[in-house]
Structure 1
Amino acid sequence: MEINFKEIFTAGMILFAVIDILGSIPIIVDLRARVGKIQSEKASIVAACIMIAFLFVGESILTLIGIDVNSFAVAGAFVLFFLALEMILGIRLYRDEEPKTASIVPLAFPLIAGPGIMTTILALRAEYQTINIVFAIILNIIVVYVVLKLSGQIERLIGTNGLGVIRKVFGVVLLAIAVKLFATNVKGLFN
């Protein structure tokens, strides 16, 4: 295992696009308005623990139920594809119940470390070294923490239209990543 800055950067950008913390600022601001204080530190730490734990035990869980990493990566490509469509087209394909409090449950899971990120982590594991993915997760959690802390200021600075543009740009990046992930892993299904 060796540290590869290119892998850390690429995995970090993929995770950043899937987490979509900047696109989640309106949800975070709404949560803050409804329940008062947001526990940024707690949410960030719990999300990091969920992601890192899934990175290490996710593949074992798959093996236990008889699914290979290539199959999961192809399924992950489909999930990323639909997440990208949501971001680009501004539609909601996945509907979750509205959170009642701004504690660990709505922030750490599913907003930060939701099903999309878990699928992405296992898909990344098929292509990148584990140590580089861990660094990418940690860098993203630092960004998530800063955004949670400064969400009100960021919203005022960028504005609703700016957040919309950022969301669409990352949606296109995510769509390209989904296509690459599918193309890379679909061959493994037929070997």
Structure 2
Amino acid sequence: MRDYWDAFIMLFIVLDSVGNIPIFYTLTSNMGEEERKKVFAKSVLVASLLLLFFTLFGYSFFAYYNVTFTDFKIAGGILLLLLALEGLIGKVEAETLRNEDVAVVPMATPLLAGPGSIYVVMYLHEVYGLLPTLVSIALNTLIAYAILSGSDVIVSKVGKNTVIVLARIFSLLLAVLAVSMIRSGFEEALRVVLGRG
């Protein structure tokens, strides 16, 4: 049971469903409650499939395509930064981002199934085995859906105008997160280059 508990806690921390509430709500602010829940469900499902894929085939995939976590950080950071900039100038609307696009990118990846969570499930598989890792993914994604589906109740209490202000603030925070991911990726890439030199 200790293996199952440790695997669950590690992925729960990295997945950070609670921390994603304001960002996810901002990205779906133009949708109704039912539509938002469908998008949340799709994003959690896609994230689950991605985590399952990397649990089972992660090391083989990375080796075959010569992909590194550094590549994931840089690419994911750029995607988040572009979306954050659109949010800051008020261009994240239904006309520019279809719901299915938002559900997959950036909600499913890189916000939920990002470089950190992908690395964790691969690590859990190696350390604790397949079953504890699969249980951890299942429990954490179910919890993520429950938390995100209930986020509208929390956010609705603060009022529409406050949500608009918060949307800009969270877009700024998303931009900061994106820059942090890009910086971290380039720093890791630079260390690799200097190490080889």
Instruction: Check whether TM > 0.5.
Output: yes
1:42-68 alpha-carbon deviations (Å, 9 max, x no partner): 43652342232233224422333x314
**Preserved contact between residue 74 and residue 185 of structure 1 (Cα < 8 Å):** yes
The residue aligned with 2:167 is 163
The residue aligned with 2:149 is 148
The residue aligned with 1:113 is 108
The residue aligned with 2:74 is 78
Distance 1:138 1:170, change over 3 A: farther
The residue aligned with 1:129 is 123
Counterpart AA for 1:63: A
TM-score (ref. length: structure 1): 0.58
Misfit runs of 4+, over 6 Å = none
* CA positional deviation for 1:146: 2.2
The residue aligned with 1:11 is 14
My pick for the range that moved more, 130-139 or 23-32, is 130-139
Secondary structure at the aligned position of 2:23 is classed as coil
* CA positional deviation for 1:138: 5.4
Distance 1:138 1:156, change over 3 A: same
C-alpha separation between the residues in 2 aligned to 1:63 and 1:118?
Answer: 23
**Preserved contact between residue 23 and residue 174 of structure 2 (Cα < 8 Å):** no
C-alpha separation between the residues in 1 aligned to 2:138 and 2:174?
Answer: 17
More helix by share: 2
Same amino acid, percent of matched pairs: 10
**Preserved contact between residue 16 and residue 140 of structure 1 (Cα < 8 Å):** no
TM-score (ref. length: structure 2): 0.57
* CA positional deviation for 1:29: 4.2
1:116-151 alpha-carbon deviations (Å, 9 max, x no partner): 35883378528x833699858954662443223442
Gaps of 5+ in 2: none
Secondary structure at the aligned position of 1:30 is classed as coil
1:63-118 alpha-carbon deviations (Å, 9 max, x no partner): 33x3142xxx232232243224642672679xx9643xx6xx4565345313x358
**Preserved contact between residue 21 and residue 147 of structure 1 (Cα < 8 Å):** yes
Alignment length (residue pairs): 175
The residue aligned with 2:54 is 55
Q: Say what the alpha-carbon RMSD is for the aligned residues.
A: 4.6
